[in-house]
């Protein structure tokens, strides 16, 4: 079946998909517990296989290749989750180290202005990615699809945006309160 699919037989490729999709989906879902991410992974793996079919040897163990591709995608998602979670934990920790004084309405408005001003200094693409992630509550993959860029590019834009915001909001009060303000803006 792989040899026929490798030679461009779409029927054989569809048969290969049908024969392996359940096993590969279960493999990803057991770890991620997220049906949408599982579907995205399977779609990415098969698109990549179709594109790279000419580069792969005819005698490749296609089941092993697909299983390893799914493992790789799952580990990338887990790594991204961990990085994002660690980043949020650092921001929360910094926020808790600040005085436990609830900001007044005037302080909230000043904070919102400072954050908005800092966000406006971001380059256009970085600002767009940041806004879609923090205010639009979109994941990196959804942002990449919406903007027509790769997930890696989204990661680079977010990294740059957060770096610029840290620099702009270097006062401890603003840095610690950034997460608070983002959550306040998300509830409005």
Q: Tell the residue number behind the tokens 């808790």, with chain if given.
A: 96
Does domain 2-76 sit in CATH 1.10.10.10? no
Measured from the Cβ of residue 158, the count of other Cβ atoms closer than 10 Å reads 20
- Specify the fold of 98-187: Arc Repressor Mutant, subunit A (1.10.10)
Segments making up each domain of the chain, as ranges? 2-76, 98-187
| Span 51-89, pLDDT tens digits | 988 898 888 899 999 999 999 998 888 888 777 777 666
Query: If you average pLDDT over every residue of the chain, what do you get?
Result: 79
pLDDT confidence bin for 38, thresholds 50/70/90? very high
How many helices and strands, by DSSP H and E, does the chain display? 9, 0
- The mean pLDDT value for 130-150 works out to 84
């Amino acid at each position: 079946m792989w040899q026929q699919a490798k030679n461009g037989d779409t029927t054989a490729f569809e048969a290969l998909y049908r024969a392996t999709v359940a096993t590969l989906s279960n493999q990803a879902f057991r770890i991620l517990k997220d049906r949408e991410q599982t579907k995205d992974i399977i779609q990415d793996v098969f698109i990549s296989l179709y594109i790279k079919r000419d580069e792969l040897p005819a005698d490749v163990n296609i089941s092993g290749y697909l299983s390893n591709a799914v493992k790789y995608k799952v580990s990338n998602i887990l790594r991204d989750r961990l990085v994002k979670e660690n980043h949020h934990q650092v921001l929360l920790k910094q926020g808790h180290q600040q005085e436990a004084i609830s900001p007044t309405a005037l302080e909230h408005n000043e904070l919102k202005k400072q954050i908005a001003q800092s966000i406006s200094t971001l380059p256009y693409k970085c600002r767009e990615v940041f806004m879609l992630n923090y205010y639009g509550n979109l994941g990196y993959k959804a942002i990449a699809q919406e903007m027509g860029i790769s997930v890696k590019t989204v990661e680079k834009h977010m990294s740059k945006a957060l770096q610029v915001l840290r620099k702009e909001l270097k006062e401890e009060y603003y840095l610690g309160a950034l997460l608070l303000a983002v959550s306040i803006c998300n509830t409005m």
